[in-house]
Amino acid sequence: MTAPLSRWTTAWIAFLLPAMALAQSDTLRVDSVVPVPALRVRSFAEASLVDSLWSDSLWVWNGPCDGAVRAFRFEFPDSTYCRVDFPCALEATQPTGLNAPLTAAVGGGTQRQAWTGQASIARIDLEAMGRKLVATSCFPPASSAKFEQLLAAMEGAVFESEKCAVLGEASARLCLTRPQMRQALSLIPSEDRRLETIERISRSDTEWTEPELRELFQLNFILERALKRFAKR
């Protein structure tokens, strides 16, 4: 036979029930929070490579740059990405290594300069930007060493058609940037072949500007064709 509950036990149970219900509701609220999908952040520079996952509300970075601007790609789970360019600045750095004291003494404390950058962006601002398909882009960009090899091969080619072929073949295996394309195209003397080649090597994510096209093409009738093909007016 089960003994009846005392009035003290009954009161204690009545006291605990609301607290237990509150704890359970708090647990449900925590469990119902939807995790934020991680974005892949990528950036290429000769000084350093960035390839990491980010799932916070604010992205912050600081580090070395190759020049006045460093580009970052933020790749979303739906296979789209957006690119953001952040400015970099030249900063003086102290000499390092075993010869640092000697250099400072002989050269009067000579400093060298290096490009560095600091960047931050909120996820809500990033999600509001326009995106492109990852499949239509090319990454990482060609290194300076690979590009120098390409320029040497073009300069070593005897005929203009060979120069165009070398550049076309290289663009199929290297992710050439616009400045690299522009420099390589300048090695092709005739503008009609230059136009044919730029049409061949340009990708869907290659966005030529009007000043760049005017620099490449001086003949008006070829410039007009290039502007009609590439420039956004």
Position 4, amino acid: P
Angle CA(193)–CA(157)–CA(174) in degrees, nearest 5? 75
Mean pLDDT by 10 residues, the chain (233 residues): 52 52 49 74 90 94 92 95 94 61 47 89 95 91 94 96 96 93 96 96 90 94 93 63
Burial group, residue 180, by CB count within 10 angstroms (0-12, 13-18, 19+)? buried
Burial group, residue 4, by CB count within 10 angstroms (0-12, 13-18, 19+)? exposed
Distance CA 198, CA 168 (A): 9
The model's pLDDT over 120-135, given as tens digits with 9 standing for 90+, comes to 999 999 999 999 999 9
Q: What is the pTM of this model?
A: 0.67
The model's pLDDT over 54-87, given as tens digits with 9 standing for 90+, comes to 999 999 999 999 889 999 999 999 999 999 999 9
Distance CA 37, CA 148 (A): 39
Strand locations in 94-232 (E): 112-122, 132-133
Distance CA 88, CA 218 (A): 33
Residue 72's beta-bridge partner residues? 84
Position 164, amino acid: C
